Amino acid sequence: MIIERQVEAKMRDDKKFAYFVTKSLLQFFERDWGDTADYHPEEPAPDDPCKTGAFYRYGDGDWIKIRYKGRDTEVKFARADAKSPSKRQQLNELLYQHSMESQVFYMDLLMLLHKEAEENHTW
């Protein structure tokens, strides 16, 4: 098995990502071609994903590509290879990201106001 250096490094640093890669490999070996497949895994694939690659998306937006390369199985980041998300997916991701940033902003603001109130005894 060939695992790209960057993938291996992230697997060492992030146990959830390591689990994701392992789970994705199991899916690949079971002929589940991943998140960008536009056909059902039990139906014949239009091209041979074993050779062209199957794509799997991790929660933070990273894509990995798994494919057979000669006698080996190759795992690498697939940022340039993955199909672009649909406009709807992009919008949902932007809205989610904005909502998370807003929550962080308001929590920071609340903590700042709380700290100021404690310092000034203005409860």
Percent of the chain past pLDDT 70, that is, above it, reads: 67
In sequence order, which ranges of the chain are alpha helices (DSSP H)?
5-13, 15-29, 49-52, 87-120
The whole-number pLDDT of residue 37 equals: 47
**Res 105 pLDDT > 60:** yes
Condensed to tens digits (0 to 9), the pLDDT of residues 58-88 reads: 886 788 888 888 888 888 887 655 455 555 6
pLDDT at 104: 72
Q: What is the mean pLDDT of residues 81-96?
A: 58
Q: What is the pLDDT of residue 122?
A: 60
User: Which residues does 54 contact at the CB level (< 8 Å), separation at least 6?
Assistant: 27, 28, 32, 33, 34, 36, 37, 65, 66, 67
Q: Which residues contact 41 (CB under 8 A, 6 or more apart)?
A: 30, 31, 32, 33
